[in-house]
Structure 1
Amino acid sequence: MDGHEIDCLNDINSKYATLEVQLEQKLAKIKQSEQEFILKYNHDNKNQNLSGSQVSDNQNLDYEGACKRNHEILKNLEKFKARFRSKATYSPVQAQLDKLKILYRERLEQENSNLNSSKSNSLSIPTSIKKTYGPTFV
Protein backbone atom coordinates (compact mmCIF):
# COMPACT_ATOMS: atom_id res chain seq x y z
CA MET A 1 0.00 0.00 0.00
CA ASP A 2 1.24 3.41 -0.81
CA GLY A 3 0.75 6.56 1.24
CA HIS A 4 -2.25 7.74 -0.75
CA GLU A 5 -4.24 4.55 -0.04
CA ILE A 6 -3.39 4.72 3.65
CA ASP A 7 -4.52 8.37 3.80
CA CYS A 8 -7.76 7.42 2.06
CA LEU A 9 -8.39 4.61 4.57
CA ASN A 10 -7.61 6.94 7.48
CA ASP A 11 -10.08 9.50 6.13
CA ILE A 12 -12.79 6.86 5.84
CA ASN A 13 -12.08 5.55 9.35
CA SER A 14 -12.18 9.04 10.85
CA LYS A 15 -15.41 9.85 8.99
CA TYR A 16 -17.15 6.74 10.33
CA ALA A 17 -15.70 7.27 13.80
CA THR A 18 -17.26 10.75 13.96
CA LEU A 19 -20.57 9.37 12.68
CA GLU A 20 -20.45 6.65 15.33
CA VAL A 21 -19.83 9.22 18.08
CA GLN A 22 -22.73 11.35 16.82
CA LEU A 23 -25.06 8.34 16.80
CA GLU A 24 -24.01 7.37 20.32
CA GLN A 25 -24.74 10.92 21.50
CA LYS A 26 -28.18 10.87 19.88
CA LEU A 27 -28.89 7.47 21.44
CA ALA A 28 -27.85 8.76 24.86
CA LYS A 29 -30.22 11.74 24.48
CA ILE A 30 -33.08 9.45 23.50
CA LYS A 31 -32.44 7.14 26.46
CA GLN A 32 -32.27 10.13 28.79
CA SER A 33 -35.56 11.57 27.51
CA GLU A 34 -37.17 8.14 27.84
CA GLN A 35 -36.01 7.85 31.46
CA GLU A 36 -37.31 11.37 32.18
CA PHE A 37 -40.67 10.46 30.68
CA ILE A 38 -40.91 7.29 32.77
CA LEU A 39 -39.95 9.14 35.94
CA LYS A 40 -42.44 11.93 35.21
CA TYR A 41 -45.20 9.42 34.44
CA ASN A 42 -44.54 7.44 37.62
CA HIS A 43 -44.33 10.66 39.66
CA ASP A 44 -47.63 11.95 38.23
CA ASN A 45 -49.21 8.57 38.89
CA LYS A 46 -48.04 8.62 42.53
CA ASN A 47 -49.37 12.17 43.00
CA GLN A 48 -52.78 11.14 41.69
CA ASN A 49 -52.86 8.18 44.06
CA LEU A 50 -51.74 10.28 47.05
CA SER A 51 -54.30 13.02 46.38
CA GLY A 52 -57.08 10.52 47.06
CA SER A 53 -58.73 10.88 43.67
CA GLN A 54 -60.65 7.90 42.37
CA VAL A 55 -58.86 6.65 39.24
CA SER A 56 -59.95 3.68 37.14
CA ASP A 57 -57.80 0.55 36.91
CA ASN A 58 -56.72 1.36 33.36
CA GLN A 59 -55.27 4.72 34.46
CA ASN A 60 -53.44 3.14 37.40
CA LEU A 61 -51.32 0.96 35.18
CA ASP A 62 -47.68 1.84 35.08
CA TYR A 63 -45.85 2.34 31.81
CA GLU A 64 -44.64 -1.27 31.48
CA GLY A 65 -48.09 -2.60 32.31
CA ALA A 66 -49.65 -0.45 29.62
CA CYS A 67 -47.07 -1.61 27.08
CA LYS A 68 -47.72 -5.23 28.02
CA ARG A 69 -51.48 -4.76 27.75
CA ASN A 70 -51.15 -3.06 24.35
CA HIS A 71 -48.91 -5.87 23.13
CA GLU A 72 -51.51 -8.46 24.16
CA ILE A 73 -54.28 -6.50 22.46
CA LEU A 74 -52.29 -6.32 19.23
CA LYS A 75 -51.49 -10.04 19.43
CA ASN A 76 -55.18 -10.92 19.90
CA LEU A 77 -56.14 -8.60 17.05
CA GLU A 78 -53.71 -10.39 14.73
CA LYS A 79 -55.19 -13.76 15.76
CA PHE A 80 -58.74 -12.61 15.04
CA LYS A 81 -57.66 -11.11 11.74
CA ALA A 82 -56.02 -14.39 10.71
CA ARG A 83 -59.09 -16.41 11.71
CA PHE A 84 -61.41 -14.10 9.81
CA ARG A 85 -59.16 -14.13 6.75
CA SER A 86 -59.00 -17.93 6.71
CA LYS A 87 -62.79 -18.28 7.10
CA ALA A 88 -63.56 -15.62 4.51
CA THR A 89 -61.19 -16.83 1.83
CA TYR A 90 -61.29 -20.60 2.25
CA SER A 91 -61.00 -22.45 -0.98
CA PRO A 92 -59.90 -26.03 -1.54
CA VAL A 93 -56.39 -26.57 -2.77
CA GLN A 94 -55.78 -27.79 -6.29
CA ALA A 95 -54.92 -31.31 -5.10
CA GLN A 96 -58.31 -31.63 -3.40
CA LEU A 97 -60.10 -30.41 -6.51
CA ASP A 98 -58.18 -32.85 -8.72
CA LYS A 99 -59.02 -35.74 -6.40
CA LEU A 100 -62.72 -34.81 -6.40
CA LYS A 101 -62.69 -34.53 -10.19
CA ILE A 102 -61.16 -38.01 -10.55
CA LEU A 103 -63.69 -39.51 -8.11
CA TYR A 104 -66.53 -37.82 -9.97
CA ARG A 105 -65.36 -39.12 -13.35
CA GLU A 106 -64.96 -42.64 -11.95
CA ARG A 107 -68.47 -42.53 -10.56
CA LEU A 108 -69.88 -41.29 -13.88
CA GLU A 109 -68.04 -44.03 -15.76
CA GLN A 110 -69.36 -46.59 -13.32
CA GLU A 111 -72.92 -45.35 -13.77
CA ASN A 112 -72.51 -45.33 -17.55
CA SER A 113 -71.21 -48.87 -17.52
CA ASN A 114 -74.12 -49.91 -15.29
CA LEU A 115 -76.54 -48.25 -17.70
CA ASN A 116 -74.90 -49.88 -20.72
CA SER A 117 -74.98 -53.30 -19.11
CA SER A 118 -78.58 -52.80 -18.06
CA LYS A 119 -79.50 -51.74 -21.63
CA SER A 120 -78.13 -54.93 -23.06
CA ASN A 121 -79.79 -57.05 -20.38
CA SER A 122 -82.73 -54.82 -19.71
CA LEU A 123 -86.34 -55.21 -20.37
CA SER A 124 -86.87 -51.47 -20.11
CA ILE A 125 -84.91 -48.37 -19.16
CA PRO A 126 -85.97 -46.82 -15.88
CA THR A 127 -87.72 -43.50 -16.41
CA SER A 128 -86.34 -41.80 -13.34
CA ILE A 129 -82.58 -41.95 -13.27
CA LYS A 130 -81.26 -39.79 -10.53
CA LYS A 131 -78.27 -37.79 -11.70
CA THR A 132 -75.56 -37.10 -9.23
CA TYR A 133 -73.42 -34.05 -9.44
CA GLY A 134 -70.07 -33.29 -7.92
CA PRO A 135 -69.64 -31.32 -4.74
CA THR A 136 -70.53 -27.67 -4.82
CA PHE A 137 -68.31 -25.21 -2.98
CA VAL A 138 -70.04 -22.05 -1.95
Structure 2
Amino acid sequence: MDLIKEINDKYLALEAEVDQKLEKVQAEELKLEQQNEKLAETSTTAVPRVLSYEEALLRNTNTLKALEIAKARLRSRSTYSPVEKLLQKALQNYRRELESLEEVGDKREEKGNPHEEEDNLYDLVMQNVIEAKKQQTTDL
Protein backbone atom coordinates (compact mmCIF):
# COMPACT_ATOMS: atom_id res chain seq x y z
CA MET A 1 0.00 0.00 0.00
CA ASP A 2 2.82 2.28 0.68
CA LEU A 3 3.83 1.85 -2.93
CA ILE A 4 0.41 2.92 -4.18
CA LYS A 5 0.38 5.87 -1.82
CA GLU A 6 3.78 6.98 -3.07
CA ILE A 7 2.63 6.76 -6.69
CA ASN A 8 -0.56 8.73 -5.87
CA ASP A 9 1.46 11.39 -4.04
CA LYS A 10 3.89 11.62 -6.92
CA TYR A 11 1.12 12.10 -9.47
CA LEU A 12 -0.71 14.58 -7.21
CA ALA A 13 2.46 16.64 -7.03
CA LEU A 14 2.87 16.49 -10.82
CA GLU A 15 -0.79 17.42 -11.27
CA ALA A 16 -0.36 20.41 -8.95
CA GLU A 17 2.67 21.56 -11.00
CA VAL A 18 0.69 21.28 -14.22
CA ASP A 19 -2.20 23.24 -12.68
CA GLN A 20 0.19 26.00 -11.57
CA LYS A 21 1.76 26.20 -15.03
CA LEU A 22 -1.70 26.27 -16.62
CA GLU A 23 -2.73 29.16 -14.37
CA LYS A 24 0.43 31.07 -15.33
CA VAL A 25 -0.26 30.53 -19.05
CA GLN A 26 -3.87 31.67 -18.64
CA ALA A 27 -2.73 34.77 -16.72
CA GLU A 28 -0.21 35.62 -19.45
CA GLU A 29 -2.88 35.15 -22.14
CA LEU A 30 -5.17 37.53 -20.24
CA LYS A 31 -2.38 40.12 -19.98
CA LEU A 32 -1.66 39.77 -23.71
CA GLU A 33 -5.32 40.28 -24.60
CA GLN A 34 -5.45 43.40 -22.40
CA GLN A 35 -2.31 44.77 -24.03
CA ASN A 36 -3.76 44.15 -27.48
CA GLU A 37 -6.94 45.98 -26.50
CA LYS A 38 -4.90 48.94 -25.19
CA LEU A 39 -2.86 49.02 -28.39
CA ALA A 40 -6.02 48.96 -30.48
CA GLU A 41 -7.46 51.85 -28.48
CA THR A 42 -4.28 53.93 -28.71
CA SER A 43 -3.89 53.28 -32.44
CA THR A 44 -7.37 54.63 -33.15
CA THR A 45 -6.82 57.69 -30.97
CA ALA A 46 -3.25 58.34 -32.04
CA VAL A 47 -1.97 61.84 -31.41
CA PRO A 48 -0.49 63.44 -34.53
CA ARG A 49 3.25 63.52 -34.42
CA VAL A 50 4.82 66.95 -34.09
CA LEU A 51 7.47 67.44 -36.73
CA SER A 52 10.73 69.20 -36.12
CA TYR A 53 11.59 72.28 -38.15
CA GLU A 54 13.85 70.30 -40.51
CA GLU A 55 11.28 67.57 -41.03
CA ALA A 56 8.54 70.11 -41.72
CA LEU A 57 10.80 71.99 -44.13
CA LEU A 58 11.60 68.77 -46.00
CA ARG A 59 7.93 67.77 -46.13
CA ASN A 60 6.90 71.20 -47.41
CA THR A 61 9.66 71.20 -50.04
CA ASN A 62 8.56 67.79 -51.30
CA THR A 63 4.94 68.93 -51.39
CA LEU A 64 5.87 72.02 -53.42
CA LYS A 65 7.88 69.90 -55.87
CA ALA A 66 4.94 67.54 -56.33
CA LEU A 67 2.61 70.48 -56.92
CA GLU A 68 4.97 72.01 -59.50
CA ILE A 69 5.16 68.70 -61.36
CA ALA A 70 1.36 68.38 -61.36
CA LYS A 71 1.05 71.98 -62.56
CA ALA A 72 3.49 71.34 -65.43
CA ARG A 73 1.62 68.20 -66.47
CA LEU A 74 -1.69 70.04 -66.51
CA ARG A 75 -0.17 72.91 -68.48
CA SER A 76 1.26 70.57 -71.11
CA ARG A 77 -2.02 68.70 -71.44
CA SER A 78 -4.05 71.88 -71.77
CA THR A 79 -1.83 73.30 -74.53
CA TYR A 80 -2.09 70.20 -76.72
CA SER A 81 -4.83 70.54 -79.24
CA PRO A 82 -5.90 67.82 -81.69
CA VAL A 83 -7.00 70.57 -84.07
CA GLU A 84 -3.34 71.49 -84.54
CA LYS A 85 -2.58 67.94 -85.59
CA LEU A 86 -5.44 67.97 -88.08
CA LEU A 87 -4.27 71.28 -89.49
CA GLN A 88 -0.75 69.91 -89.86
CA LYS A 89 -2.11 66.91 -91.79
CA ALA A 90 -4.21 69.17 -94.01
CA LEU A 91 -1.19 71.37 -94.67
CA GLN A 92 0.94 68.38 -95.60
CA ASN A 93 -1.77 67.06 -97.92
CA TYR A 94 -2.11 70.50 -99.49
CA ARG A 95 1.63 70.78 -100.10
CA ARG A 96 1.75 67.31 -101.64
CA GLU A 97 -1.18 68.19 -103.87
CA LEU A 98 0.49 71.44 -104.93
CA GLU A 99 3.70 69.62 -105.74
CA SER A 100 1.80 67.10 -107.81
CA LEU A 101 -0.10 69.94 -109.51
CA GLU A 102 3.13 71.71 -110.32
CA GLU A 103 4.43 68.53 -111.89
CA VAL A 104 1.21 68.12 -113.88
CA GLY A 105 1.27 71.84 -114.77
CA ASP A 106 4.81 71.57 -116.00
CA LYS A 107 3.77 68.65 -118.18
CA ARG A 108 0.75 70.55 -119.51
CA GLU A 109 2.80 73.65 -120.22
CA GLU A 110 4.96 71.48 -122.32
CA LYS A 111 1.80 70.42 -124.11
CA GLY A 112 0.54 74.04 -124.37
CA ASN A 113 -2.54 74.04 -122.01
CA PRO A 114 -1.61 75.82 -118.69
CA HIS A 115 -4.92 77.75 -118.15
CA GLU A 116 -6.99 74.64 -117.64
CA GLU A 117 -4.81 73.67 -114.67
CA GLU A 118 -5.33 77.07 -113.01
CA ASP A 119 -9.09 76.64 -113.34
CA ASN A 120 -8.91 73.26 -111.67
CA LEU A 121 -6.66 74.50 -108.84
CA TYR A 122 -9.57 75.90 -106.85
CA ASP A 123 -11.47 72.63 -107.23
CA LEU A 124 -8.47 70.62 -106.03
CA VAL A 125 -7.94 72.87 -102.98
CA MET A 126 -11.60 72.53 -102.04
CA GLN A 127 -11.36 68.79 -102.51
CA ASN A 128 -8.38 68.71 -100.09
CA VAL A 129 -10.34 70.71 -97.53
CA ILE A 130 -13.27 68.30 -97.80
CA GLU A 131 -10.95 65.31 -97.42
CA ALA A 132 -9.34 66.89 -94.36
CA LYS A 133 -12.76 67.40 -92.79
CA LYS A 134 -13.61 63.78 -93.50
CA GLN A 135 -10.36 62.66 -91.85
CA GLN A 136 -11.10 64.87 -88.88
CA THR A 137 -14.50 63.30 -88.38
CA THR A 138 -13.10 59.77 -88.77
CA ASP A 139 -10.21 60.48 -86.36
CA LEU A 140 -12.59 61.72 -83.67
Shorter chain as denominator, the TM-score bin is: 0.3 to 0.5
- TM-score, reference length from structure 1: 0.33
The structure with the largest helix share of the pair is 2
Larger radius of gyration between Structure 1 and Structure 2? 2
Structure showing greater relative contact order (alpha-carbon pairs closer than 8 Å, 6 or more residues apart): 2
Under a length normalisation based on structure 2, what TM-score does the superposition of the two structures give? 0.33
